Structure 1
C-alpha cells in the first residue's frame, strides 16, 4: 500500500486504486513505513491511535486528497512539512493534545501554498499557540475552532478583504478570542459557545445581515441587554438559540413595545435563564413565521403566552424541558392552561 505508484506502469498488479482509507483504534501503531500512501486516495482518516507519533512524510503532496481527518492521537507532536494538496477541501484536526503546530498550507502567503480549503475544523488541541503566517484561503466556507485554550485569536488580518465565501463560523472555549473580526459579513451560520470572558460581538452582530442561524450559549460575560443586540435587523434570520447568560434577569426587556427578534424566525430556543419569569417582552405573537418554540431549564418561568394571550398561528411544535412551573401549568389535560396550547399539533412538556 505504501508503494509509490509509477504513472507509466503497465503492470496492472502494481496499480492501486484505493480512494478511501480509515485507520481507527490501532494502539500499537507508532509510525508509518517509508514511502507514500496511494496517490489515488481522496479521503484519509486516522483516529484514536494513542501512540502514533508521526505521519507519512509524503502525505501533504497527495494529488487527489480531498478530505483529511486526524484525531484522538495524543502522542502526535507535529504534521509533515510542506503545503497541503491543492485538491484538499476539508481538514479536521481534533483531540491531539501534544500537537504544537498546524500545517503551513492552511494559510496562504504565496502561490506555492494553494490548497483550496472549504472547511477547517480544529478542536481539543491545547498545545497549539498560533496559526501559520498568512491568510485563510478565500475559498474557506466553514471555520470551526474549539477547546484550544492557548491558540491566538483570529483577527481581521487573517482574512482576505475580498473573501465572500465564509458562511459558517463555530467557536467554543476559545479564551484568547475577545471579539469577532469585523470582516465576516458573509456569514450565514454563527455559533458561539462557552465563552466566559468574551467582551462580545456587539456591534458586529448587527452587521451580519445574511445570518440565517445564530447560536449563543454560556457566555455569561455578555452584559448588553438583548434589547440592544439589534437582532430585529437580521431579516434573514430563521433559527435562533440563546441561553446561559443574563443570570439575574427576570425579563428580556423593560420596554413592553420593544421588538427584539425579526419576524423571519422559524425556530426559537431559550435555555438556562435561571431567573427569567416572563416572556412578555418577546412579543411572540409578532413572530408570524415561527414554527418551533423550545424552552429549556428556566426554573422560574411561569408563562409561555405573550401579553395578548396568543401564540403565532404558524406554531406547530412546542417543547418545554425542565421548567417546573410550566410543566404544572401546561401539562396535557391536567394543567390549567393546557386548553390555551392544545391546538398546537406537537407539544412535549417534560
Structure 2
C-alpha cells in the first residue's frame, strides 16, 4: 500500500506545482524554470510508480526507492511553503510602520538576498535527488505507464445470478421488501412514455451482501411469474455501453433458452454479436426485448457519469410497461442518480444471523456442537464484523476445521487488517472501493486511522486536519477550502465510507464503520501511528501521531525525525501534562502543521513555539491551567486556526495577534473586560469566530466590518448585551447559547445590510418571547433553524411560511409552543426534509405520529422525529 500512498503524495505535489499561485510566486523569486524542471521529472517518477505498484512484491529495494520519493516530495513541499511564508513576512513588514522591524527583517535570514541564496541551494538539492531516483527507477526495470489510461485499480471478478438459497442467511425480510418494490406499479407514472422503466437501487458498503440479495430476489419463483424475461449483467469497473448491451442480449438469450420447454442440458447457442457495431447491437436488443416485460439486474455499478447512464437507460428501455431494473452499487449519489425510487439502503445482519453464518463457514455440519467453547469465542469474533457478511465469512473460513484454541483467540484479539487475506476476503473487497477513489480522497481517508474505533467525528475537526496538512486545495485560489473539504465529506458518504451521518447545518457528525476503520489502518500503515499504553516503537518515518491514552507519553518513544506533520489527542479528556514533552516536540518537529493539545494541563506555552513556522492549526482548548500565551505566538504567520475555548484561566491575549494574517478560525475564552480593536480588525481572512465563557466581556467589539466572517458563535457570555450583526455582511451561521443579557432585537432600528444567513441556532433564551425582526431578512436563505430551551416562547416567527429553503427545523424544550404554523400553511415549507421535536408537550400532542391532529400536515416530510416529553405527568 505504500506504493499507492506515495503516488498520491506525488500527485498532490504536482497539483501544487501546476497551480496558478505557485507559478506566480516562483516567477516573483526567479525560480520558475527550476521548479518547472522538478515538475517535469516528478511527472516521470509518478508514471514509474504505477509500474512499481505491479512489481511491489518482487524486491525490498523497490520499496526503499518509493520511500525515498516520499521524502523528496515532503522536502519539496516544505520549499514551496518557504516561498509562501516569505510572502507573508513581507506583508506584515509592509503593514507595520515600525522602522526597527524593517531593519531587523533586512538583516535576518529572510531578507530577499539571503532568502534567494538559501532557496537556490535547496531547490538544486531537490532537483538532483529527484533526477537520481528517476534514473534509479529505470535500473529496477520500471517503465512509464500513462496515468490517464492506466491507473492501477484492483478489479472485481464478474458476478453471475446463480445462488443456493439455503446458503443465504438473515436476508429474508430484505428480499421481501425488494420483491414488494418489484411487484408495485411504477411510482411516478402510468407505465408508458419516458417513465416506462422503473429503476430500484440497492446500496451499501462492500461485503454487505448486495449482490447476494439481488441473486436471492432474481431467483425467487415469483419473478418468473411477473417477468417474461430476466437478465443479469455484471457491470463492475468498466461502464462500456456497447459491452453492457452485448451482455444484456446474451443474458436474454440464456433466459429464453432456460425457460423454454425443451431440455436445456446441451450447450445454449449464442450468436456471435461481438463484432457488431453499436447500431446493430441496439437493433438486436430491441428484437430480443421488444414487447416483453423484463427484469434487468445491473450488478456492481461504479459509473458516476450521469450522461452515460441516461444514454444506456434510453437504449435498454425497450420492454413492455412494468419492466424493472435493479441496480447494486456502493455509491449513494450514484444510486440517487440512477434510481427513480428511493434507494434501498442495505443494513448489516443481526448478531444472531452473523453467528449462524460464522458457524456455517467455520465448522462442518454439526461439528460446532462438539466445540461450545469455540462457538463462544466465535460470538466475540463476529462482533468485530459489525454485521457485514463477507467479514463473517472471511474470519469463519480462516478457522475452518481448526480446533486450536490459541488460533481462535488470535483471530478474536487481532485487528482484521493484521490477518492474512485471500483474494475474495473482506479487505480486498473494501480496498476495491478505496482504489476507485480519486487521489485527493484517498489521502484524506487515511486520516480516519488516527481516531479509535466507534469514534464520533465532528466534521469541522477532520476537515481542519485535512486543510492544515494541505490535502484540500483550491486550484484557482478563489474557492473556499472549507466548502471543498465539506464536499469531500459528502463524497465519502456517498461512497458508503461514512455512517450515522447527522447534518445539523452549522455542524455535522458521523461515524466510520469498524471495517472501514480497519481499511484506513491497512492503507496508512507506517506513516500513521495511534499511540497507546501498548505502543513500544514509533517508526522513524512516521508523519502523523495520535495519542489515545495519557500514560503512553514516554519521551524516548517519539522519533528524532523531522517528518512528523501532525500530533493530536482525539479522545475527550486525554491531553498533555508534561511541558518537557512539549519542548521536545517543538525542538524536533520543525515542519509540524497540526498540533492538537486539547484537554492538556500544562501552565505555560514555550516561547519557542514560534519556531514552528509551518504550523497551521494549534488547539489549546479546555486547558484549565494556562494563564498566558507568549507574544512570540504572533510570529506564526501560517497559523490558520487558534482554539482557546475552555481556557478558563487565560488572562490576556498576546500582543501582535493582528500579525497572524492567515487566521481563518479563532475560538476565545478570556478573563479580559475589553479586547483590542486594532488587533482583530487586521484579521481579514477570519471565517469562523467564537466567544466561549467570556464572563467579563460586555461588548465583544466595535471595529469595522469583518467581510470574510461566515460563522459566529457566542456561548455563556453572561454580560454581553448586543450583537453588531452589521459587522458581518457575509455571515452564514449564527450560534448563540446561554447569554442572559443579550437582546437580539437591539439593532432592529438600524439600517443594516440584508442578512444572508443559512443556519440559526438559539439555545437557552429563558426570556425570549418573540423572534427579532431581522430574521425576516433571512427568509430567502435560511436552511436550518434550531430552537432549544426557550420556555416562554409561544410562537415561531410568522415569516417561517416564506422560508422556501428551510431544510431542517429542530425544536427542543419549548413547552408553550402549540404549533409550527397554521395547518393550512405547512405546505409552503416545500424544502423541509428533517423535523425534530423533543420535550415540547403541546407540540407532541398536536403532531405525534399517526394520532396528532396536525400529523397529516407533516407526514410527507422525509425525516420526522417526535419524542414524548420526558417526565410527562399522566
In the alignment, is residue 43 of structure 1 matched against residue 570 of structure 2? no
2: CA distance, partners of 1:231 / 1:306? 31
Higher strand proportion (structure 1 or 2): 1
| Residues 22 and 154 of structure 1: CA distance in aligned 2, closer, same or farther (over 3 Å) | farther
- Change in 2 beyond 3 A, CA 1:232/1:100: closer
CA contact under 8 A between 1:135 and 1:159: conserved in structure 2?
yes
- Equivalent position SS for 1:348: strand
Match of 1:190 in 2: 712
Other structure's SS at 1:241 match: strand
Counterparts in 2 of 1:50 and 1:20: CA distance versus 1, 3 Å: closer
Bigger drift between 42-51 and 288-297 goes to 42-51
Equivalenced residue count is 321
1:19 aligns with 2:543: yes
CA contact (8 A) 1:91 1:121 kept: yes
Aligned-partner Cα distance in 2 for 1:340–1:232: 36
Q: Which deviations, in whole Å up to 9, do the C-alpha atoms of 1:233-271 show, x marking residues without a partner?
A: 5443111111322x3444336x8x993633211111122
User: Does residue 344 of the first structure (1) align with residue 867 of the second (2)?
Assistant: no
Matched, 1:305 2:305: no
1:54 aligns with 2:583: no
Let me know the Cα RMSD of the aligned residues: 3.3
Q: Cα–Cα, structure 1 residues 349 and 28, in superposed 2: closer, same or farther, change >3 Å?
A: closer
Structure 1 pair 232–104 and aligned structure 2 pair: CA distance change class (3 A): closer
Partner of 1:263: 780
After superposition, the C-alpha distances for 1:292-338 in whole angstroms (9 at most, x for unaligned) are 21111101111111496334222222111111000001111211111
- 1:23 is displaced (CA, Å) by 3.8
CA distance 1:276–1:329, change in 2 (3 Å): same
**Equivalent residues in 2 for 1:58-207, closer than 5 Å:** 59-61=585-587, 62-74=589-601, 76-82=602-608, 83-107=610-634, 113-136=635-658, 137-146=660-669, 148=670, 150-151=671-672, 153-159=674-680, 161=682, 163-181=683-701, 182-183=703-704, 184-201=706-723, 204-207=724-727
Q: 1:303 to 1:26 in 2, by over 3 A?
A: closer
Give yes or no for contact 1:84–1:105 (8 Å, CA) kept in 2. no
- When residues 298 and 231 of structure 1 are mapped into structure 2, their CA distance, relative to the original with a 3 A threshold, is farther
Structure 2 CA distance for aligned equivalents of residues 312 and 50 of structure 1? 49
What SS class does the counterpart of residue 283 from structure 1 fall into? helix
CA distance in 2: counterparts of 1:266 and 1:229, whole angstroms: 25
The 1-side partners of 2:625 and 2:792 are apart by 41
Distance 1:224 1:24, change over 3 A: closer
SS class of match (2:647):
coil
Where 2:725 maps in the other structure, the secondary structure is helix
**1:252, 1:132 → 2: CA distance?**
38
1:282–1:192 CA distance, 2 compared to 1 (3 A):
farther
Cα separation, partners in 2 of 1:127 and 1:283, compared to 1, 3 Å: closer
SS of the residue 1:97 aligns to:
coil
- Point out the more displaced range, 218-227 or 182-191: 218-227
Within the alignment, does 1:239 sit opposite 2:745 as a pair? no
Query: Which 10-residue stretch deviates more, 268-277 or 49-58?
Result: 49-58
> 1:195 offset after TM fit, Å?
1.7
Aligned counterpart in structure 2 of residue 287 of structure 1, from 803, 827, 833: 803
- Whether the aligned pair in 1 keeps the contact of 2:729 and 2:755 (CA below 8 Å) is yes
Aligned to 1:210, which of 727, 730, 733?
Answer: 730
- Residue 252, structure 1, aligned to residue 771, structure 2: yes
Change (3 A) 1:125 1:28: same
Match of 1:219 in 2: 739
Structure 2's unaligned 5+ residue stretches are 1-121, 126-538, 868-874
Contact 1:19 1:43 in 2 (8 A): yes
1:193–1:219 CA contact under 8 A, matched in 2: yes
Q: Distance in 2 between matches of 1:223 and 1:66?
A: 40
CA distance in 1, matches of 2:691, 2:791: 24
- Per-residue CA shift, 1:41-81, capped at 9, x if unaligned? 1112368357524335354453211011223333x221222
Could you tell me how far apart the structure 2 residues matched to 1:289 and 1:339 are? Answer: 21
> Could you list the runs of 5+ residues in structure 1 that have no partner in the other structure?
1-6, 9-14, 108-112
Q: Between Structure 1 and Structure 2, which shows a larger proportion of helix residues?
A: 2
Contact 1:242 1:271 (8 Å CA) reproduced: yes
Question: Match of 2:811, SS?
Answer: strand
Residue aligned with 1:228, SS: coil
Higher alpha-carbon Rg: 2
What is the CA–CA distance in structure 2 between the aligned matches of 1:333 and 1:170, rounded to whole Å?
42
Following superposition, the deviation at residue 230 of structure 1 comes to: 7.5
Q: Secondary structure at the match of 2:567?
A: strand
CA offset digits 1:136-187 (Å, max 9, x no partner):
41100000124x4x256543222353x4210011221112332233242320
Could you say if the C-alpha distance between residues 249 and 166 of structure 1 is closer, same or farther in structure 2, counting changes exceeding 3 Å?
A: closer
Task: Tell me, yes or no, if the aligned pair for 1:217 and 1:242 is still in contact at 8 Å.
Answer: yes
Distance in 2 between residues matched to 1:306 and 1:237, nearest whole Å? 25
Match among 288, 296, 299 for residue 812 of structure 2? 296
Please report the TM-score for the alignment, with normalisation by the length of structure 2.
Answer: 0.34
